[in-house]
Amino acid sequence: MPSFASTSIGADPTLCRFMTVCLMLGDSVLPLFVGCLEALPNLHTLEIGQVYGSIEIPLKNALEGVKLPQIKTLILPPSVHPLLPHCCDAEDVVCVVGRKTIFSDEFLESLVSNQNSQIERLAIPLVSRGTLSRK
């Protein structure tokens, strides 16, 4: 995996304070994505809009040994819950669900297991399957 920290991407303090991404399943892409996150010391907001494929295990593997304390705000779909314990100083966490995604217990378990004590705001949907119906 290339090191982004030794290049200009990690050296420019004005570079990238916000990042919005779509993640696609791919063992080769996720380590590059994680390396990019590590190399951006000024990145404080990460929004992951959509995830294609089952990403929990490959993401967990790519994040092994990684800490991302610079990230303060996370806007994530439930399937990206493996990222939560690595953002140990997150203050604002928003779980985003769509028509094809639902909130998962793993999302909360990832928060609790790491004891993310910096969280000041947690926004999660409290809608269960079958609660809403169209008329």
Question: So where are the chain's domains?
Answer: 8-123
- pLDDT by residue (tens digit) across 85-115? 999 899 999 988 766 556 667 777 777 766 6
CATH number for region 8-123: 3.80.10.10
Please indicate whether residue 129 or residue 62 has the higher confidence score (pLDDT): 62
- pLDDT by residue (tens digit) across 8-37? 454 565 666 666 566 665 667 888 889 888
pLDDT of residue 126: 66
Q: Residue 79, CB half-sphere, CA atoms under 13 Å: how many?
A: 21
pTM attached to this predicted model = 0.73
Cβ neighbourhood burial of 1 (10 Å; 0-12, 13-18, 19+): exposed
Cα(123)–Cα(11) distance, rounded to whole angstroms? Answer: 33
Cα(104)–Cα(111) distance, rounded to whole angstroms? Answer: 12
